Structures are given as C-alpha cells and as structure tokens.
Amino acid sequence: MGVKRGRCLCGSVTFEYTGDENWRAHCHCESCRRQTSSPFTTFMGVPHGAWRFTGADPKVYVSSPGVRRLFCETCGAPVAYEADAFPNEIHFYAASLVDPTTFEPERHVHTDERLPWIHLNDKLPVHPRGSDG
C-alpha cells in the first residue's frame, strides 16, 4: 500500500503514513462533536512507526486526562487525536486526507452519544460505546 498524506486547512501541518489503518470509524461522542463543531467525525487509527508529521508540528490541547487533541496553530483545524487508552496508535481525521475519496469507514462508535437527528442507514456496525461495544 502506498503513502497516504493529509493536511490542515492552511497546509501548515502535514502528515503521511504507510500501510493499512488499524481501524476506520465515525465517532459520535460529545467531545469529538464539540472539538470539530460537527454532528460526528471520522477517524482512522494509524500504528506508531507508520506515520510522521512532515510540516509544522501541531499544537496540543489536553481536552481531558489522558486525551490530547492536535491542531494547527495557524488555521485551527483539528489534525489528530491521541489518548493514553490507545498507546500504540494515533488517530487522524479522515477528512484531512489529501484524497479522502478513497477512505471507507467500517463502523460507528459512541452511538450512545449520537444526536437524535442523525439517522444511521449505511448498514455499518454500530457500537454504543467504543469499538468494543
């Protein structure tokens, strides 16, 4: 599999990774919604050692104990998510990929926090909490 690249809105923070993602999911948790100002967001888990930042280093906001949200200092766009609960990977936002049209999510997570006006009809597996169910 080739190199996949992503960037923030202004192009200052850039990243790349190789190989397959560990997983790909839509997240409906409240903190992701608030951080992105959207009804849900879509991530992929990329193993450490397979990715690197290639532009400016992102700034880090500690949104809760053990959770770090990475964003561009210039444009404010979210770029990645790190958490102590996932010590072997980083989570990149699918929409930040240079070519997000090739990305296919596999599931919905944290649907217990889903907004009531979001109706899921894409036939993807649904997990009320994280990917463990």
- 59 vs 35 pLDDT, higher one: 59
Question: Poorest-confidence range of 25-29, 86-90, 101-105, 125-129?
Answer: 125-129
User: Does residue 53 fall inside a structural domain?
Assistant: yes
Return the structure tokens found at 30.
Answer: 């409240």
For the four alpha carbons of 80, 82, 86 and 90, in that order, the dihedral sign comes to positive
Task: Render pLDDT for 59-91 as a digit per residue (tens, 0 to 9).
Answer: 999 999 999 999 999 999 999 999 999 999 999
pLDDT tier at 38 (50, 70, 90 boundaries)? very high
User: Does residue 132 fall inside a structural domain?
Assistant: no
Domain count of the fold of the chain: 1
> Which residues form the domain of 96?
3-127
* CATH code: domain of residue 100: 2.170.150.70
- 128 vs 73 pLDDT, higher one: 73
pLDDT at residue 39 greater than cutoff 70: yes
Mean pLDDT of 106-110: 93
Residue 133's pLDDT is what?
Answer: 42
Q: Which residues contact 106 (CB under 8 A, 6 or more apart)?
A: 23, 24, 25, 124, 125
User: Does residue 133 fall inside a structural domain?
Assistant: no
Report the alpha-carbon distance of residue 92 to residue 104 in Å, rounded.
Answer: 14
Residue 106's pLDDT is what?
Answer: 94
User: Does residue 33 fall inside a structural domain?
Assistant: yes
Residue 132's pLDDT is what?
Answer: 53
User: Does residue 9 fall inside a structural domain?
Assistant: yes
Report the alpha-carbon distance of residue 34 to residue 127 in Å, rounded.
Answer: 20
pTM: 0.90
Residue 128's pLDDT is what?
Answer: 85
User: Does residue 89 fall inside a structural domain?
Assistant: yes
pLDDT tier at 131 (50, 70, 90 boundaries)? low
